[in-house]
């Protein structure tokens, strides 16, 4: 197990109004390395008073001439500079992400950190291209629209892609001229604090980005209920998303929600089996299944089921849990003991309800430490009503089901309260598009899985939330439209 002393991890403090501060209460909490179950460091725990201070700093920054009158092009330059600061420290940030979250360091570097840098550069480019329209109206009038920032944006993010989820919200919000109060997940606060450092080093004016680690109910709740926050952008569980929407109703804050998923991965009988097997295992085991788009329901045509499952089990067995700091490791631990227990609970439920455990299902020890490692797990003979076929498990647990024709696959695929992502594997281009169009999901992959790009929209149908992050679509989340009338008579 890699020695955590190789990185000098300082205690984390709150970043409010451009300054590092302790919590008003003086409280701190430990953040844990999931590979060792040992604390990495202590982090200041924001309470309602700190949230209020952060919101006031964000409001003051939002209304300041320095921010209001800053050329859009200069906002873009600040975002480029943040990307550069992150890039200079990319390896260190990847190691920090791995220690805090447990994900394999190679993936942290090649995906999380790389995509976060990319996100800042992408929205840097947008900053001076956010334009309104001139609208033809009757009479001697000029009518035009402006895209103005929403104001103070609260961002509440999960632990599965800590820096990347921060980037998805902070970069477009700032590009559009907003200010932000960011609450990272309690399990993974460290890279959000490094983002604050990068923003500060890049010269972002004080108060434009504030980062307040803390707990969901207290710090998150105070942000959602604060009357001076204009918008909440949330990624996390559907249960908390619903709670936030209800609470935000009191002040009619704008809300965007990116929630859970139970994504169907459909393999038709004419698919390239080798490619689909590779895709199906990556779809569920990548990030130990802790991805909202995880391909957790594998629907295989009954004609190819036996061959497919045999090959899948061989491939799955290759995902050996290991030290996430080792660049060769493909499967790290789960993020926390709580998450491990939740996933083990689902595995128990799967067995009780009569699914057949084909692989894994057990906790393992890696490097002699009590890290939160779980073997890759595959269940066969799963039927659509079983709990493991319906609920988001958020672990390396695959539920294999079968179907007998394409329409049945679509029907099973859509029989979920979620609609975040889906995939179909087939060599028939007509069937591929037909299935892609019929699936009620915000992203559909054809003969591939897990592709994402900053330029392409991302978000959910049904109870997977609403609003689209990334691409030019995110500009709608962080601007409001003003219509201006001019009398020309
Ligand atoms: P969660 O509770 O939804 O956490 C997401 C974020 O919301 C965290 O920053 C959390 O703070 C905050 N939060 C929690 N309660 C809040 C409240 N009452 N008001 C405002 N903010 C609040 O998710 P979780 O407990 O970490 O994970 C539980 C399950 O959610 C997982 O097993 C998985 O199924 C699902 N999940 C989905 C996604 C996704 O991307 N779709 C991501 C993570 C988890 P704390 O960190 O202090 O809790
Ligand atoms: Mg941690």
Give residue-wise pLDDT tens across range 47-102. 999 999 999 999 999 999 999 999 999 999 999 999 999 999 999 999 999 999 99
The CA 257 to ligand 2 mean position distance, Å, reads: 24
Question: What stretch(es) of the chain map to CATH 3.40.605.10?
Answer: 4-259+464-484
Given 45, 186, 292, 392, which residue is catalytic?
292
Query: Is 97 one of the catalytic residues?
Result: no
Q: Are 85 and 124 in contact (CB under 8 A)?
A: no
Cβ–ligand 1 distance for 274 under 6 Å, the answer: no
pLDDT of residue 409: 98
CA 46 to chain centre: 22
Cβ–ligand 1 distance for 340 under 6 Å, the answer: no
The CA 151 to ligand 1 mean position distance, Å, reads: 24
Question: What stretch(es) of the chain map to CATH 3.40.309.10?
Answer: 264-454
CA separation for the pair 297, 116 (Å, rounded) = 28
HSE-up of 416 (CA within 13 Å, CB side)? 33
pLDDT of residue 5: 53
Token pair of 116, please? Answer: 């976060």
Q: What is the DSSP string of 73-134?
A: HHHHHHHHHHHHHHHHTHHHHHHHHHHHH---HHHIIIIIIHHHHHHHHHHHHHGGG----E
- Which residue owns the Cα nearest ligand 1 atom 32? 394
Mutate to test the pocket of ligand 1, among 43, 216, 460 (most ligand atoms within 8 A of CB): 216
pLDDT of residue 8: 87
**SS3 for 472?**
coil
Measured from the alpha carbon of residue 191, the closest ligand is 2
Cβ–ligand 1 distance for 150 under 6 Å, the answer: no
- Which residue owns the Cα nearest ligand 1 atom 11? 216
Cβ–ligand 1 distance for 215 under 6 Å, the answer: yes
pLDDT of residue 20: 98
- Which parts of the chain have pLDDT scores under 70? 1-6
Measured from the alpha carbon of residue 4, the closest ligand is 2
The CA 70 to ligand 1 mean position distance, Å, reads: 35
How is domain 264-454 classified at the CATH fold level?
A: Aldehyde Dehydrogenase; Chain A, domain 2 (3.40.309)
Provide CB contacts within 8 A for 441, sequence distance 6+. Answer: 263, 419, 420, 421, 422, 460, 461, 464
How far, CA to CA in Å, does 130 sit from each of 59, 62, 172, 478? 22, 18, 11, 11
Superfamily name with CATH number, domain 4-259+464-484: Aldehyde Dehydrogenase; Chain A, domain 1 (3.40.605.10)
- Count CB-CB contacts under 10 A for residue 98: 28
The CA 474 to ligand 1 mean position distance, Å, reads: 21
pLDDT of residue 339: 98
Query: Is 194 one of the catalytic residues?
Result: no
Given 45, 107, 258, 469, which residue is catalytic?
258
pLDDT of residue 370: 93
Cβ–ligand 1 distance for 217 under 6 Å, the answer: yes
Cβ–ligand 1 distance for 441 under 6 Å, the answer: no
């Amino acid at each position: 197990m890699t020695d955590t002393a190789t990185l000098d991890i300082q205690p984390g403090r709150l970043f409010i109004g451009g300054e590092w501060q302790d919590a008003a209460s003086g409280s701190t909490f430990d953040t844990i390395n999931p590979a060792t179950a040992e604390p990495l460091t202590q982090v200041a725990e924001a309470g309602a008073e700190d949230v209020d201070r952060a919101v006031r700093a964000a409001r003051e920054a939002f209304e300041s001439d320095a921010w209001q009158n800053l050329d859009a092009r200069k906002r873009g330059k600040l975002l480029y500079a943040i990307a550069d600061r992150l890039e200079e420290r990319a390896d260190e940030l990847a190691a920090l992400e791995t220690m805090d979250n447990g994900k394999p360091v190679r993936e942290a570097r090649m995906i999380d950190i790389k995509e976060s840098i990319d996100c800042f550069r992408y929205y840097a480019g947008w900053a001076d291209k956010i334009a309104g329209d001139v609208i033809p109206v009757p009479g001697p009038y000029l009518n035009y629209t402006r895209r103005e920032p929403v104001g103070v944006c609260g961002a509440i993010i999960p632990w599965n892609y800590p820096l990347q989820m921060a980037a998805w919200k902070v970069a477009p919000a700032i590009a559009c001229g907003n200010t932000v109060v960011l609450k990272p997940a309690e399990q993974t606060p460290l890279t959000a604090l490094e983002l604050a450092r990068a923003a500060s080093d890049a010269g972002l004016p004080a108060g434009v980005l504030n980062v307040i680690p803390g707990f969901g109910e207290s710090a998150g709740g105070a942000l959602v209920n604060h009357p001076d926050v204009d918008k909440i952008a949330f990624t996390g569980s559907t249960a908390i998303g619903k709670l936030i929407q209800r609470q935000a109703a009191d002040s009619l804050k704008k809300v965007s929600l990116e929630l859970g998923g139970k994504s169907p991965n459909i393999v038709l009988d004419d698919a390239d089996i080798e490619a689909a097997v590779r895709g199906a295992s990556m779809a569920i085991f990548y990030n130990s299944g802790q991805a909202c788009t995880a391909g957790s329901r594998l629907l295989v045509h009954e004609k190819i089921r036996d061959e497919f499952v045999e090959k899948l089990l061989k491939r799955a067995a290759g995902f050996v849990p290991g030290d996430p700091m080792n660049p060769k490791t493909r499967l790290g631990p789960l993020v926390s003991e709580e998450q491990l227990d939740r996933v083990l609970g689902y595995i128990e439920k799967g067995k009780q309800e009569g699914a057949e455990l084909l692989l894994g299902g057990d906790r393992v020890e890696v490097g002699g430490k009590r890290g939160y490692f779980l073997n890759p797990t595959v269940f066969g003979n799963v039927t659509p009503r079983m709990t493991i076929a319906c609920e988001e498990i958020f672990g390396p647990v695959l539920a294999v089901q079968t179907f007998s024709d394409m329409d049945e696959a679509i029907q099973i695929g859509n029989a979920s309260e979620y609609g975040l992502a889906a995939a179909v594997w087939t060599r028939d281009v007509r069937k591929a598009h037909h299935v892609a169009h019929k699936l009620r999901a915000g992203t559909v992959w054809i003969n591939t899985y897990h592709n994402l790009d900053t330029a392409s929209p991302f978000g959910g149908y049904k109870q997977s939330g609403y609003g689209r992050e990334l691409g030019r679509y995110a500009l709608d989340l962080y601007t409001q439209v003003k219509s201006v009338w001019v009398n020309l008579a």
